[in-house]
Amino acid sequence: MKRATKATDSSVMFTGVGGQGILLAGDVLAEVALQAGLYVKKSGIRGLSRRFGSVWCQIRMGDEVHSPVCGTGAIDFLVSLEMQEGLRRLPFLNDNGTALINRLWIDSHGTARSAPPPEFDEFKYANCLWLDGTETTRQAEQTRSLNFFMLGALAGLLPFKDAVWKSAIKSVVQPRFLPANLEMFAAGNDAVLVHQAAPRKTK
């Protein structure tokens, strides 16, 4: 699993479906980078923002950034709130990149479940870290904070201080939503740290 030692020239793609808060997650990361003194460019909405429509955005940050969008094979971190959307965007990941993918599978009829079909093999994707954000937020009764769970997981791979993340979240999120979002952010951060400490499984 890739962990950034510095944020210079890092590119992050968020992807998922409409209604998951993809663009809000991008806003938080952009604010984190700005507070850390980096230049930032954020792509506009890409895809369909209607419920269950495909949505993605990119954040590029560094000492110098010219374009808000990276092409195929250029993204450092892919963060997906839905499995099929994450798989569709994997070609954007560079050879040393890491994908953080939430275990949520939405079929063509809009039916959502927290596990893929039985025939799906996660071990085929060596650069992916699969996270149980859907189940964690469901158990905590904070399902609307899944995007912050995934932000917390990403925070475990980026070199920004926890205080900067919390400051950025507070500047972007309405006060009444802060407790739940901060709680799920911490849960996501814990989840990725557990994965980093655990021995890697093989098939």
Characterize the bridge pairing of strands 46-47 and 93-102. Answer: unpaired
Tens-digit pLDDT profile for residues 80-105: 999 999 999 999 999 999 999 999 99
Measured at the alpha carbon of residue 161, what is the angle toward residues 155 and 167, in degrees to the nearest 5? Answer: 90
Output the average pLDDT for the chain.
Answer: 88
Confidence of residue 157 (pLDDT cuts 50, 70, 90): very high
In a domain? residue 24: yes
In a domain? residue 130: yes
Domain count, the chain: 1
Tens-digit pLDDT profile for residues 94-151: 999 999 999 999 877 677 877 788 888 998 998 999 999 999 999 999 999 999 999 9
Task: Return the pLDDT at 8.
Answer: 60
In a domain? residue 202: no
In a domain? residue 116: no
**Whole-prediction pTM:** 0.90
In contact, 22 and 15? CB cutoff 8 Å: yes
Task: Return the pLDDT at 200.
Answer: 54
In a domain? residue 158: yes
- Domain membership of residue 47 as a residue range: 10-105+123-197
Task: Return the pLDDT at 65.
Answer: 83
At residue 139, the 3 state secondary structure works out as helix
Q: What CATH number corresponds to the domain at position 147?
A: 3.40.920.10
In a domain? residue 34: yes
In a domain? residue 153: yes
Q: What integer is the mean pLDDT of 38-53?
A: 74
Based on DSSP, count helices (H) and strands (E) in the chain, helices before strands.
Answer: 6, 9
In contact, 25 and 79? CB cutoff 8 Å: yes
